[in-house]
Structure 1
Amino acid sequence: MAAPEPMPGYEELGRRCYRSLAGALRGCTDCGWELSRRTWAENARLAWSEPLLCLVCAVGWTVVRRAASRRLFRRFAEAYKEQLDEKGLCRASLDEAGSTATSAGSGKAGYVTAVGEVTTVFAAAADLTLLCCSPFRPDWRKGAEVPTDIAVAYLIQCSFYCHSIYASLYMDAWRKDSVVMLIHHVVTFVLIALSYVFRYHSVGILVLFLHDISDIQLEFTKLNVYFKYRRGVYHPLNDFISNVGCISFSISWFWFRLYWFPLKVLYATCHSSLLSVPNIPFYFFFNALLFLLTLMNLYWFTYIVFFVAKVLMGQVREVNDVREYDIDAEKKAAALEKNDGKLHNSSPCKERKHLMNGIVKDKRL
């Protein structure tokens, strides 16, 4: 077995990827719909039962979320109603997080923890977690068998992101980054689904692993942020965990999503893949989505930098979510509603309404 190619720096990544993309573009003399159709017919492998199973699991995520929100998380919200009101948060914040106010999708903390750990095991089984070799296998071939453990991980992840697209539109509270979040869910769903169809699972499982690491820390940190004050009592352990988690999350976000991901994954898919398979299927399509994913990682990293800067300048004293939608704007929008021909100032939290695309809208399943 040949020694693995050393990981490049950012400058070398940009130079070689640009050279590979430009060369592939010059060599593509018949690029277009006909080539895409022919490439799909020759390389795509997908049984009809697989997307059906994915859809069933996506519906299952939605049903489980609805049941958990109504029967479990909302009870916690009622128990900590005063705490939520003090922080300017609505009861639906709990519905989204599976705890008092994680603000990130019902049960997501438990989901990303479980799936993240499972994906880590799957990636280790596939000799990917050490990142010591190129994630693009030189022996790639169309229609190759996908190992059962990786196929299960793909089913779980793909079905959850299918549910997440629906949840972002109709279930989650609207925030400053909700449009980007929706685009992220669509891009991730397409990448997961088509990397399975074209048997790029060795790359795909590594992408999932690199992104799940920071998601686990994010949800766990936010749980502790909102539980450090419970029933008017300060809990120093939760405060300490949230502070440590914030630091750990910031470091892991950069390390895994902005260091390992571009220098290992993008380098392999954009440059190394052409050396192994010159006519690799949908080369431009997959790389465009991966670069878009990188841009979104950079976008969210600005929130992290923004928060750290505010902490250093003494503008904030505790960990919070700078992505939350504007509560004042939401109240102003609610005040414009008419009730029997009169304006009123009803609390949007009490009515369980949230700002969505600039419109106060009920969140219903």
Structure 2
Amino acid sequence: MVKVWDFLFYPDYYGLVQAMYDIPEYVRTEPIHPDGWLAEVRTYCELNWKDIQIICILAVVWSIFRELLIRCIFVPLSNYAQLTEANVKKMPESAWRATFYIISWSFIAYVIVGSHFELFTDPPSVFKGWAPGMKVPSDIYAAYAIQGSFYLHCMFATIFLDVWRSDSALLCCHHVLTLSLIGFSYAARYHNIGILVIFCHDVNDICLECAKVFIYLKVRAGKFYPVCEFMANIFFSLFALGWLMCRMYWFPLKVLYSILPSTAKVYYQDHLPFGIEFNVLLWLLMAMDVYWFSLILVFLFKIIIGDTKEMDDPREETDESSLKVGIDRKRLSVNGHEEETIPVQNSNGVLTPGKAMNGDGVKHRQPHQQNNSHEVPNHN
């Protein structure tokens, strides 16, 4: 019973605020290497070429695996389901990421719950037995190799492969920050902290990508499928609840709390290097989480007040190919019953009236008129 309580509710925000008061004292009293920061890195960090080679090779493997899944499975399925042209491009991306996150996070959960449960129930224990260049447990090393290579792949994919969105540049910054944290924490042997960060974050990506897949599957062959809308809502609800629990509660109280000076000294009394650097990087990650959570709250508010009727992606640009001549006066059917025509745009730019059932199909955009449909905010 104690472990279950500690897993869910220990520590609390009051303890986090109290621990933050010791930061100025840490900055004032913590010894600094006489030869500067680079000398500190050389003294306390260890990263060899073999580790870098493994990360680069696995990044190539993920890129090849992604292309095989997309070309051989997800794109044929999209074409078979007769999705809209825009969704044929976007659904395989989300399906690939959902596949990866399900496998990856399941392994991370096994590592935490099965082998290193004390890291979660007793956050200060992340520094227990720490030493420069210490041996990293094989399961945590494997998790680090998977995560580091995947985010290296994501940098390439976001820039060159994925559909470009309004927050893609922020996603690139997120990937750079994540890679920096993974590499820096491994070299400094702060891997116990890193595995907690991954555990608290990746579970949300599963729910997000699954929700997006069902959004893209709502309209198939001109028919609207309410079951896909229902499943998208289910996964979005899990996504919002998971974000609140994992990123707004567990991440600050299990991770940010454990790296504060007074907490870190519970099990290790000597000098712990890079205290300020890791605090800055992880609090920057927390700031990104808060920003994306604000988008989720805005989305929920629009649903409550009735401003949003269905999920669509406000970060997407209008798909011009779906507004070409020849997509005129298509009709949707719900369970076999015809509905009103979708608003479409002819060669003169005139929109015909109707009812759009899916924001990722043809979008109703007139001059000086705001598009009120929104999809689950992306974050990665």
Residue of structure 1 equivalent to 2:297 = 305
Q: Relative to structure 2, which stretch is displaced further, 165-174 or 262-271? A: 165-174
For structure 2, the residue ranges without an aligned partner over 5 or more in a row are 325-347, 350-359, 361-380
Change (3 A) 1:128 1:182: farther
Q: 1:254: Cα distance to partner?
A: 1.0
Q: Deviations over 1:140-178 (max 9, x none)?
A: 222221111111111111100011111122222221221
Residue of structure 2 equivalent to 1:108 = 97
Query: For the residues of structure 2 that align with 1:7 and 1:20, how far apart are their CA atoms?
Result: 20
1:320 aligns with 2:296: no
Change (3 A) 1:64 1:52: same
Query: For the residues of structure 1 that align with 2:43 and 2:12, how far apart are their CA atoms?
Result: 36
Query: For the residues of structure 2 that align with 1:172 and 1:129, how far apart are their CA atoms?
Result: 38
> 1:310 is matched by which residue type in structure 2?
K
> 1:216 is matched by which residue type in structure 2?
I
Query: For the residues of structure 1 that align with 2:39 and 2:10, how far apart are their CA atoms?
Result: 34
CA contact (8 A) 2:136 2:189 kept: yes
Q: 1:90: Cα distance to partner?
A: 5.3
For residues 64-75 of structure 1, what are the structure 2 equivalents within 5 Å? 64-75=65-76
1:23 aligns with 2:28: no
Residue of structure 2 equivalent to 1:337 = none
CA contact (8 A) 1:36 1:282 kept: no
For residues 321-360 of structure 1, what are the structure 2 equivalents within 5 Å? 321-322=313-314, 324-327=315-318
Change (3 A) 1:223 1:90: closer
Query: For the residues of structure 1 that align with 2:305 and 2:38, how far apart are their CA atoms?
Result: 55
2:286 to 278, 291, 294: 294
Change (3 A) 1:128 1:186: farther
Query: For the residues of structure 2 that align with 1:92 and 1:71, how far apart are their CA atoms?
Result: 14
Query: For the residues of structure 1 that align with 2:92 and 2:161, how far apart are their CA atoms?
Result: 9
Over 4 Å off, 4+ runs: 3-6, 28-32
Change (3 A) 1:284 1:84: same
> 2:84 is matched by which residue type in structure 1?
L
Using the size of structure 1 for normalisation, the TM-score is 0.78
Query: For the residues of structure 2 that align with 1:173 and 1:44, how far apart are their CA atoms?
Result: 37
For residues 106-185 of structure 1, what are the structure 2 equivalents within 5 Å? 107-128=96-117, 131-134=120-123, 136-185=126-175
Q: Deviations over 1:231-263 (max 9, x none)?
A: 234434333222221111101101100111001
1:201 aligns with 2:191: yes
Residue of structure 1 equivalent to 2:222 = 232
3-state SS of 1:131 partner:
helix
Q: 1:91: Cα distance to partner?
A: 3.8
Query: For the residues of structure 2 that align with 1:130 and 1:238, how far apart are their CA atoms?
Result: 38
Structure with the greater alpha carbon radius of gyration: 2
Over the matched positions of the two proteins, sequence identity in percent amounts to 31
For residues 253-272 of structure 1, what are the structure 2 equivalents within 5 Å? 253-271=243-261, 272=263
CA contact (8 A) 2:119 2:126 kept: no
Query: For the residues of structure 1 that align with 2:69 and 2:57, how far apart are their CA atoms?
Result: 18
Using the size of structure 2 for normalisation, the TM-score is 0.75
